[in-house]
Structures are given as structure tokens and as C-alpha cells.
Chains A and B, each alone.
Chain A
Amino acid sequence: MRSLRDALITFRRSPLLSALSVTTIAFSLFAFGLFGLVTLNIRVALERLEDRVEIRAFIAETASPESMGQAAGDISAYPEVSSARIVTQEQALGRAQKELGDFRDVFEGAVLPASIDVTLKSGFRDPATVKRVAGRIKAFSFVDDIRYGEEWIEKLYRLRNIAGVAGVVLGTAFASVSMIIIGATIRMAVLARAREIAIMRLVGATDAYIRRPFLIEGLTKGIMGGLLALLFTYVARSIIDRYLIETVFFDRKVALLGLVFGAMIGLVGSAVSVGRHLRRI
């Protein structure tokens, strides 16, 4: 109780520095949050797209229906494959005409190649796996050509990775700065109370007892920074959602993790500083 009261006193004593440390923690987590949001939304988008990831193996006209059937059976036995369906020339034409709607006439009298359409199980839809499975299918002698996952899926993946890395790098940089600022505020607080601390020591207060209010101060600032960051991120997301594209927000667990991370920044920053400066009193 006493520790908490002492911790709150510092907010009053140096409001500017306190506000500064809360804000830097908030920005640090905001950087994490914003890029995390980008990563999350790209991932959600990728998941939706991945449902449509399909490998289409075009079959040479010379292939016999039996060998096609057997190949389809073999392919569907691959551990990554969820289904392998034969699409005959007629079906391919029908599908193309249907997809084109009003322009169906262009296919009048055309011949489209038959194919085996392969869908993959979820978890095996990343570019590398798709490429590998496609390679194996291509090995069948009657497969003319093979099409799979467009290049832009790969680009999306790359974008997601870049957003993730940028978030971690920027967030870490901000986190370091906020730890330094927290450390400076704690240092001021320790020095402002040097006399009191010296007396506490003389009468036999333990270091843990002396440290506690400073740690609570750091922790409180960290949690406040975390809450602020959550608010920033939520507002940013709402703006994007309203004016740009539909986006999803973090679930409760991730939001809580953000708060915990803020608390950790505050706690570590103050623990390091208080340990160093108590020694000098």
C-alpha cells in the first residue's frame, strides 16, 4: 500500500518525465502493434487466398483416360494433397464459358486441354510446398504444363515477412529508448528521495523494501504505456477500416500480451536503474 502511494507521488513530482516515459512505452508498443496489425491482416488475407490455391496439371491430348485416372489416384495419395480431380476437355470448356459469361462466344469451337486439378490440405499451401508438389506432378510423362500459386501470393508472403521484421526492429528500438527514459525517471526519483533512502537503510530497511516503490512505479508506467498503445493501435485500425480496407483487430490474448510486454519494459527499465543508483546512496 505504502509502496503504491510512494509510486504515485513520483507522478506528481515529475509529471513531464513520467508522461514522457509512458508515451515512449506507448510508442514502442504502438510500433509493434501497427506492424503486428499489418502482419495479422496479411495473414488473414493469405488464409483466404490459400483456400483457392490449386495446382492445375494440363494433360497432353495423347494421354489415355486410364493413365489419367491412375495418376489422379496416385496424386490424391500424397500427404499434402486434399483432392485430385480430373477435368475433361468438355468440362474445361464448360467452366471457361461459365466464367466468361457474356463473352462465352469466344470459345465457340475451341478445344481446351484436360487437366488434373489438385487442392492441397491447409498447412501445405505455402509457396515452397506448392512448388514441391507441383514439381512431383510435373514428373508424370503426360503432363504438358503445370500452373500453380500466382507470383503475387509469393509477394504477399514476402510483404508479411517484411512487416513482421519491421515491427520487431522498430518496436525493439522504441522499447530500448523507453527503458532508458524509464531509467532516467527512476534515477531522478531515487535522487529526490536520497535522504529518505539513506535513513531507511540506517534503520534497517531491506534493499528489496526500498526498491519496491520504484519497481511499482516502473510497472505502473509500463501498463499505462501498454494501454495507451492499445488505444493508439485501435484508433489506427478503425481509421484504416473505415477509409481504406476492411481489417481485423488483435484478439484478447494478443492485446493482453501487449500489456504484459509494456509492464515488462517498465519493470526491467526501473529495476536496472534503481539497482545502479541505490548503490551510490
Chain B
Amino acid sequence: MIRITHATKVYPRTGTAVDDVSLHIGKGEFVFFTGPSGAGKTTLLKMVYMEERPTSGEVKVSGTSSITARDRDVAQLRRRLGIVFQDFRLLENRTAEQNIAFALEVTGTPANLVAPKVSRVLTQVGLAGKGTAFPRELSGGEQQRVAIARALVNDPFVLIADEPTGNLDDRATRGIFQLLRDINAGGTAVMMATHNLELIRRQEFRTIEMNRGAVVFDTAENGGAPAARAE
């Protein structure tokens, strides 16, 4: 489903961000990406949703290759991906519903389908009663739920979450993580970058540890505990 083959990303100013990474992520998998800041997690995820293209090597996502994809192909690919960030990236002047509907409107979803889809995902993320609230009226955890709802509304085959709990307290973190697990249980793959070792330690999910742009540990290959756990 997602195949990364000898992908390297070099930025002209800051140097190598991802260094010869090869990975395969299967359908419905839950994968943690961990490692220190600057390890290349974010860049790797960016290459998956093709915000960045590898300097060499290839990233292939559900048939779309980083080598051949045109801008239009990338737009089409992203309609089947869900992307979530640490800073939520909601539009402040729109309600929760409108933020979610936005993702449907700008991809040309027929108007009569928007409301039922929005209401379905709001329920799914546990915000059924808060659709008319503006982001500033919601807690951090709730804002992240809106962002996740927006990511889910187009029924993605993979949810890419870059530090989704980075701005949240423990309770909210557990809530969001549980939500991601539920989403994964529904068949959607999840790729989640996180610093939260606590979270990883308690799970049995595949964990990929990165350092200085390279994969230094992958439970799928090594079978044992990742370095992060051993700490």
C-alpha cells in the first residue's frame, strides 16, 4: 500500500533530512514513528503525502509514485489520505462543522452529501453536540478531534498524524490515541509520529525509530522491543 524505496531527502540549506529509508506499510496497519527532534519523522510523513518528493529513491502510495506524479495526481491522492498535525490547523473563523465541510466543498463533493457526512464523522469523533462551536470555544483535545474528523470525512485508507498529541495534556492524549485506535480498528491504516514514549511503551503496535534521517529500529524487522522501549 505504501512502499518507500531507498528514499533520501536532502535540503539545500539544512542537509540530509531522510537518509536512504526503505519501508513497507501494509493495509490497515498501525505504525508509530519515533525518534528525537530532527530525526526525519516529519519529512518522511511529508513524503508519504507528497508535500515533499525524495531527492533520490521512490515513495509509492496506493499506486501513485513520487517520481511520476503530477500536481493533479497528488491532489487526487490526498483526497484518499487523512492528515492531522500537532497544531490542528483549523480555520478560526469557521465552526467545527464548517471546518469539516470545507474539506468536502473544496474537493467538489455534491452539496446534498456534505451535511450527512459531516454529522457522521462528528459523531465518530465524539463531538456530536459541538458542531456549531468555533475552534476557540473548544479545548485542545476537542480541536484535535475536529481536525481528525476533517481528515476522516473523505474515508481515507490511511490517516497520517504528525505529533497529534504534542499539544495536549495526558487525558486528552489518551482520548485522541483511543480514537486513533478505533479508527484503525475500522480498517484505516494509521501512521503516527510521536515523542510520547509512554504511549508507545504501552502498545503492541509496530514502531519505527528514526535517528539522523535513517531508520534505526523497526519492530516489523527485528521482532523485539524497540530501542525506545529499552530506555
Contact = CB atoms under 8 A, between A and B. Distances in A.
Contacts of B76: 204
**Is chain A's interface secondary structure helix, strand, loop, or mixed overall?**
helix
B75 A205 contact: yes
Interface stretch (A193-201, A241-249, A252-260, A263-271): A193-201
A203 B79 contact: yes
A73 to B, nearest CB: 74
A141 interface: no
B77 interface: yes
A195 B106 contact: no
Nearest to B105: A2
A197 B154 CA distance: 18
Interface string A74-108: 00000000000000000000000000000000000
Interface in A196-217: 196, 198-207, 209
A205 B80 CA distance: 12
Given A196-B91, A199-B89, A204 B102 contact: no
B154 A204 contact: yes
Contact of B103 (A2, A195, A203, A207): A203
B116 to A, nearest CB: 18
Contacts of B150: 203
B138 to A, nearest CB: 17
B72 interface: yes
B78 interface: yes
Contacts of B80: 204
Contact of B91 (A195, A201, A204): A195
A203 B71 contact: no
A233 B54 CA distance: 56
Q: Which of A2, A199, A202, A206 has the most CB of B within 10 A?
A: A202
B89 A203 contact: no
Contacts of B102: 199-200, 203
B89 A205 contact: no
B44 interface: no
A198 B89 contact: yes
Nearest to A200: B106
Contacts of B72: 206-207
A200 B106 CA distance: 7
A82 to B, nearest CB: 63
A106 to B, nearest CB: 87
B168 to A, nearest CB: 20
Interface string B85-102: 000010100000000001
A102 to B, nearest CB: 85
Contacts of A195: 89, 91
A260 B226 CA distance: 66
B107 interface: yes
Nearest to A203: B103
Contacts of B49: 202
B215 interface: no
B188 to A, nearest CB: 16
Given A2-B105, A195-B91, A209-B106, A202 B71 contact: no
A204 B103 CA distance: 8
A4 to B, nearest CB: 14
Nearest to B106: A205
Contacts of A203: 78-79, 83, 102-103, 106-107, 150, 154
A207 B150 CA distance: 20
Interface of A: 2, 195-196, 198-207, 209
Q: Closest 9 CB pairs between A and B?
A: A204-B79, A204-B78, A205-B106, A203-B103, A206-B75, A204-B75, A200-B106, A202-B83, A204-B107
